[in-house]
Structure 1
C-alpha cells in the first residue's frame, strides 16, 4: 500500500517564471550583450550537460560547495564573451533564490490538497541547493508537502540509489510504499524504480507538443504496482531520455516495466483512487 508520495521540484511542481533563457537574456543586456533567448537556451543546455557529465564521473556526489561551482561554471559557459562572470553569476544566483522568480503549475495546489486529504505523506525530493528552502517557503502552493529533501543536503544527486534510500529512511517507510513523481524519464523515474519505489513519469512536453494525445486506457485505472507493461505505453521521446537533464542509469531491475506516464498531475487522483492509506 502506498503511504507517501514524493515529487521532483523543477518541471514537476514548479517552473521558473519568466523562463530561464528569458532571464539570462535580460541580465545579459545589463552587461552589454544582445543575445536571443534561443541562443542562450542552447548555450545553457550545453553548459548544463558538461556539468552533468562531471557529476556522473564523480558518482553523483554533491554538496552546497559543488552546487555553487556547478552554477559558476554554467554561467561562464553561457557568457564566454565576459572576461569576469562573477558579478552576473551572483545576480542570477540571487534571482533564482527568490520565490517570486518561480511559479507552481496550475494544478499543483489542488492536487496536493486532495492527496493530503486522503492521508498521504507528501514531500519534495529534488536535485537542488539550499535556495529551494527559500523558494518553498514563499510558495504556499507547495506547503502540503511536509517533507523537503534536497540533493545538496543529502550529499547525493539523482539518479544515485543513495538519494532514494535517504528519502525512505527519512520517512521510515519501505521503498515499495513510496511513489516518486518526476519529469525526467531516466533520472527521476527509472532510478526510482531501480531503488524499489513506485514511479510516475510526468511528461508535460507530450501535452505541449501533442495537445490531442490521449493516455492509454490503462492509465485511468488505480495504481497497483507502479508501472504498466511496456506494450501499454508509448516509447519515451528521445529528447526526454538524452536531453541535458537526463543521464544513463542501470536498468537491471526495470527492463520489463516503464513508469506510468501522465501529462499533468491531475491523473494521479484517479490512479490512486483505491490506494489511499488509512487516515490517522
Structure 2
C-alpha cells in the first residue's frame, strides 16, 4: 500500500508544533544547563541533551485512563519527573522545574522555522484547513499567540492535555479531525516524530508525512526534508 497521500482527497492538515513549526531558542540542552548553572552546578550540554532525550522518550507519568492518557496536572507532573531525571544534581529541584516550566511557556523562548508560515499559507491557498496538533499542554496557546507570524495563519490548536490523550493515541487524531470538521481519510498529519506524527496518524486512518529536517531516511517517499515540500507535492498532483 502506498504511503504517499492522495492529494485529491486531502482537505485538511494537522501540523505538529515542536520540531515541525517551532523550535526552542536557545536549545533545550542550553536552557537546562543554564538552570543548573544558576544553582552552581556546571554540566556538559551534550550530556544534558542525552539525559533529556532518554527521559523525554519514557512515559514517566500517565493519567487515570491508562497509557498515553493525560491532562494539565499529568503534564505538569510528567515534566517535573523529566527535570528531575535530567538535573539530579541540583540542590533545589523544585526551583529548577519552576524556572524551566515558565521558560518554555514564554513565546520568546521559541522561534518559528523559516519554512513554516509560507507552507501554511500555500496549503491554505489551495483550499485546505490547517490546525496545530501537539503533545504540548495549554502553554502552547500563549506561545503561538506570542509568535505573530504563526498566530496570523493558524487559528486551530489541538493539544494533548486538553484532548485527554497524547499522540500517538487514536483519540488525539480523532479530536484533531473533529476540530477540522473532516473525516480522517481527508486529513494529512505532518510532523518530525515517526511514531507520534506518522505511524500513529496512519493507524487512526489519516494520511501522514514524516518531516526529516536532519535528513533521516531521505529516500523514503513518505518523507519530506522541509515544509516547503508540502506545497510542491500538492502542486504536482493538483
**Equivalent in the alignment of 2:223:** 261
Pairing 1:202–2:164 present: no
Q: Which consecutive unaligned segments of at least 5 residues does structure 2 have?
A: 1-8
Deviation at 1:58, TM superposition (A): 2.8
Work out the CA distance in 1 between the residues paired with 2:35 and 2:131: 33
Deviation at 1:53, TM superposition (A): 5.4
**Equivalent in the alignment of 1:152:** 161
Work out the CA distance in 2 between the residues paired with 1:83 and 1:58: 33
Work out the CA distance in 2 between the residues paired with 1:37 and 1:45: 12
Post-superposition CA distance 1:191-243 (Å, at most 9, x none):
10111111110011217xxxxx9x55xxxxxxxxxxxxxxxx2xxxxxxxxxx
Residues 77-86 or 185-194, more deviating? 77-86
Deviation at 1:41, TM superposition (A): 0.9
Q: Which consecutive unaligned segments of at least 5 residues does structure 1 have?
A: 208-212, 217-232, 234-258
Residues 108-117 or 150-159, more deviating? 108-117
**Equivalent in the alignment of 2:192:** 183
Deviation at 1:273, TM superposition (A): 1.4
Work out the CA distance in 1 between the residues paired with 2:67 and 2:24: 28
Quick one: which of 25, 35, 40 aligns to 2:43? Answer: 35
Structure having greater relative contact order (Cα 8 Å, sep ≥ 6)? 2
Post-superposition CA distance 1:94-135 (Å, at most 9, x none):
111110100111111111122222221111000011110010
Deviation at 1:19, TM superposition (A): 0.5
Give the SS at the match of 1:27: helix
5 Å-filtered alignment, 1:34-53, equals 34-50=42-58, 52=59
Calculate the aligned-residue CA RMSD, in Å.
1.9
Work out the CA distance in 1 between the residues paired with 2:37 and 2:90: 12
8 Å contact kept, 1:121–1:146? no
